[in-house]
Amino acid sequence: MLAYLIRRLLAVVIMVLVVLLATFTVFYMLPKWAGQDIAVLFAGKATGAEQVEGIRTKLGLDEPLLVQFWEFVKAIPMGRTFANGDDVTECPAPCFGYSFVTEEPVWDTLKDALPVTLALAAGACVLWLAAGVATGVVSALKRGSVWDRGAMIAALGGVSLPIFFTGMVAMGIFVHSLGWVHIEDSLSTDDSIGVWFETLLLPWIVLALLNAAMYARLTRATMLDVLGEDYIRTARAKGLGERVVITRHALRSAMTPILTVFGLDIGVLLGGAVLTESTFNLPGLGLAAVQAINSKDLPVILGVTLFAALAIAVANLVVDLLYAVIDPRVRLG
Amino acid sequence: MVPRRETGTAIPEVEGKMRTGSPKRRLAAGAALVVAALVTTTACGGGGDNGDKNEDGAGYNAALDKVVNASTKKGGTLKFVGKQDFDSLDPQRTYYGMTWDFLRFFTRTLVTYDTKPGEASNKLVGDLATGPAEVSEDGKTYTYKLRDGLTWEDGSALTSKDVKYGIERIWATDVITGGPAYIKQTLDPKGEYEGPYKDKSKDKLGLKAIETPDDQTIIFKLPKANGDFEQFLAMPTGAPVKQSEDTRAKYTQRPFSSGPYKIESRKANKSLVLVRNDAWKKESDPLRPALPDKITVTISANLEENDKRLMEGDYDLDVNGTGMTQSGRVSATQDHKGSIDNIQTSFVRYVALVHNTKPLDDVNCRKAVFYATDFAGLQQTRGGEVAGGEIANSVFPKSIPGHTDYDPYGILERKGKPDVAKAKAALKDCGQPNGFSTKITARTNNPGEVDAAEALQEQLAEVGIKVEVDPIDGAQSSSINGSPKVVKERGYGMIMSGWGPDFPTGQGYAQPLFDSRFIFENGNYNESEIKDKEIDGLFDEAIASTDPAKAKELYEQMNKRLIDNADWMPFIYEKNISWRSPRLTNVYSSAAYNGRYDYVSLGVVK
């Protein structure tokens, strides 16, 4: 087990380095190869040549690429000071960059957005995992029944309908027509739990609807496979109760692929649910990225990208560790 | 002096994620429309809940040229919503029209635009100053006297030195960035002053072109006369900044107020809350009624949703002022027509005909494009006459002196329809009787622009002009369209875009577009690459003139020459549908702010 853990941790460290390198390449090197001046891109809307030169010096864009990469990586744990003569800008650790549009370290933006994204992801995950898996299991057990057909058609609908459609319909009905829920303008940590719950309720449901559908189909398919396995027949032949057979034996085995997908989905969601957050105006990471794109604020786009990539890497690690709990073969291997 | 493109209507690039031209996005827009329709139906079926809040407004187009709900009643909260946040709250760093309009709540300048409806707003009146400048005979010295009782939000006196210091910040180009450089270019064309942060003098007031003999007098000494100099001072870049409160680059987060309101809280990309500035004295400020007790701005990403909440009364007006979405327009026109205005902006949609790309170097080939274009068709792609705008015949928008009815191609006469026979004749004259091939650029992030370019492609094909549409990323346009080298390499003959004035004169609108000395390697807006000595001369003469009537005449001549030479083809004077809450008092559209409502005059009923 310990060996497994160390192997996984090492893999994540390598993955994080790859992520850093890839992000650095996309944001610092690709534009250069395409013939664009990176300092201009980082400056955002500023036009003056002097400002661009200032930013070039400040960000060290005139240094060799290796030095730049090292500074970029080092800034995250150590923080960084951008200086051009007496024009000094502090970016305390963890430094994910500095926005010259809002004149704030990018981490401030990420830090504000993170609770919203976390809350959105957590609520939606619980909903879709519970609803998706339960529907899938029931469908698999009552294969071919009206329930199965109905659930699978509903699931198909859920997968097919884009968030901005279901989101707008949900808001049209529950916010505007019926007035049952109120969506707070810009959710912040100053708001009460009640406000958070009310504001996030529709986004949770809408996001869960989209994902639950896929989980239901996935669960149904794997469950059907598993239920046909010899060891299930053996378990039944031994006289185990149907409930034990389904939950302890079949579902546990069916969980492995679901967990894999779940890990990835969580990672993606932690990087910001762009459409959900834009539709409901939830000030999370996804919306921060969209706004940064609109205001041509490259450092923030970079920060969100980097954070999202790291979130996926970490989510993968957690999934890998959970495999060990679920699947005995992993523990032995 | 390069005005940022489309500052006039504040960043149309961002306004419509769901309204842009690519097929996928059009699908999204369609879906959104269906939803909106559905929702509207359910809303109507749902009973009177919403109806109560939406009593009819003052009437369709009521706020275009008169004041709606004139009132002096104080109190209440004025609530703005918008998709796009302010570019910067630092007066010396902002370049968006909506910010300039809004900044007047807490920023005063020596002179400003009159708080009157329609084109009467274009007149400059004294704000911090007692009135417009006393200008010397040679037009090179401007003297202002400041009003009595001017204060900062901490109660300290606001002096002429604060005005000078604020203006000096424009020179600190490595820190104070983003704003227009007109004042700097005019007072110090060689850039000799280094800005207050590198200023060696003790009081940091080393700029020689501005003198402050006493706390209430400020004198500007121009090396060369510029008839629009007061226009430059009316921009937020002319605003005072108190030296002890100057946090340099971070000033944008919390500017120090000289107006009736001050900032209570600010979160970039989320919100802004203003409360009354108790230190402000009404008797020092005849322009601002300062009616609401509180002003809130909410940045919200979903345009359709914002429109709905405006109509439900959750918000009072859109701070971006870019007009309602398609679904919003439909339901507002049906159910609340009395609460909307069809606003004429100062924005022009155009196609630049690149003189450097063959065969458009030939005037007759360019004329063929004018004749073959179906302006009415292009108008449809932009949303029709009401939501898109009127067909254009002049290079100048209607509110800018220089605009005339001159129409040698008969565009208005034919109601925008093309004249195929004349187009073919013009093609023959330019030695291309069977037409020619070229490329047009259109920005993908500008709603409807690619659609319009594709429509133009079909129209021109009728006479044998084969156009290839090249959609480009609007965020990159200054290094694509704006680079004559790239334009030449890629063989672009036409560039479709939009343009609005920085300030309401010929210079403020047209110089970057048509003056040959404004052709830059990057960020070039003279996209046609017009190199016409006569045009350049007209600019010099009009700018040097301190007589607006004379300048107008010169710009009219310029318009005639540009149209005669088919240098640059305008096609729409842009209009939009704006929501005006029935709660609002003192509402009117201000031409000086590109047709937006004059924010600083607004009040609310409760």
Give the model's pLDDT for residue A47. 59
Residues B249 and B370 in one domain: no
Question: Which residue does chain B place closest to A284, by CA atoms?
Answer: B270
Find the helix or strand (DSSP H, E) in which A213 lies. Answer: helix A193-227
A191, A281, A297: which to substitute to probe chain B, counting the most B Cβ within 10 Å? A281
For the stretch B11-64, pLDDT in tens is 333 332 222 333 333 344 444 444 444 444 333 333 333 333 444 688 999 999
Taking 60 as the threshold, does the pLDDT of residue B489 lie above it? yes
**pTM for this structure?**
0.87
For the stretch A13-63, pLDDT in tens is 888 888 888 888 888 888 888 777 777 777 655 556 777 787 788 888 888
Give the model's pLDDT for residue B76. 96
> pLDDT above 90 covers what percent of chain B?
78
User: Rounded to an integer, what distance in angstroms lies between the CA atom of residue B132 and that of residue B418?
Assistant: 47
Residues B539 and B585 in one domain: no
Residues B534 and B593 in one domain: no
Q: Is residue B392 part of a domain?
A: yes
Residues near A211 by Cβ (< 8 Å), separated by ≥ 6? A124, A128, A132, A265
Q: Which amino acid is at B43?
A: A
Q: Average pLDDT for residues B216-227, to the nearest whole number?
A: 96
Q: Is residue B329 part of a domain?
A: no
Phi, psi angle pair for A319, to nearest 5° = -60, -45
pLDDT band with cut points at 50, 70 and 90 for residue B216? very high
pLDDT band with cut points at 50, 70 and 90 for residue B9? very low
CB pairs under 8 A between A and B: 134
Residues B225 and B352 in one domain: no
Give the model's pLDDT for residue A254. 85
For the stretch B145-179, pLDDT in tens is 999 999 999 999 999 999 999 999 999 887 888 88
Residues B430 and B513 in one domain: yes
Question: Which residue does chain B place closest to A100, by CA atoms?
Answer: B249
Q: Which chain A residues have a beta carbon less than 8 Å from that of B46? A: 177-178
Which residues 136-155 of B have a C-beta within 8 angstroms of A?
A: none
Residues B137 and B83 in one domain: yes
Give the model's pLDDT for residue B56. 67
Residues B265 and B121 in one domain: yes
Distances (CA, A) of A107 to A102, B113, B267: 12, 40, 14
Give the model's pLDDT for residue A331. 62
Residues B533 and B591 in one domain: no
State the CATH number of the domain containing residue B534: 3.10.105.10
State the CATH number of the domain containing residue B105: 3.40.190.10
The answer, for B302 touching chain A at a CB cutoff of 8 Å, is yes
Q: Is residue B418 part of a domain?
A: yes
Question: Which residue does chain B place closest to A50, by CA atoms?
Answer: B174
Q: Is residue B438 part of a domain?
A: yes
Q: Which residue has the tokens 């036409």?
A: B494
Q: Is residue B536 part of a domain?
A: yes
Residues B495 and B512 in one domain: yes
The answer, for B33 touching chain A at a CB cutoff of 8 Å, is no
Question: Which residue does chain B place closest to A41, by CA atoms?
Answer: B476
Residue B199: both structure tokens together: 């200023």
Q: Is residue B38 part of a domain?
A: no
Bond into A94 cis (ω within 30): yes
Residue B302 and residue A165: Cβ atoms within 8 Å? no
Give the model's pLDDT for residue B30. 44
Give the model's pLDDT for residue B27. 40
User: Rounded to an integer, what distance in angstroms lies between the CA atom of residue B297 and that of residue A243?
Assistant: 56
Q: Which residue has the tokens 């500074």?
A: A71
Residue A186 and residue B2: Cβ atoms within 8 Å? no
Residues B485 and B585 in one domain: no
Residues B154 and B272 in one domain: yes
Q: Is residue B593 part of a domain?
A: yes
Structural domain count, chain B: 2
Residues near A251 by Cβ (< 8 Å), separated by ≥ 6? A133, A137, A223
**Domain encompassing residue B226:** 77-290+581-604
Which residues 176-215 of B have a C-beta within 8 angstroms of A?
A: 177-178, 181, 197
Residues B486 and B597 in one domain: no
For the stretch B383-407, pLDDT in tens is 899 999 999 999 999 989 999 999 9
Residue A164 and residue B32: Cβ atoms within 8 Å? yes
Q: Is residue B215 part of a domain?
A: yes
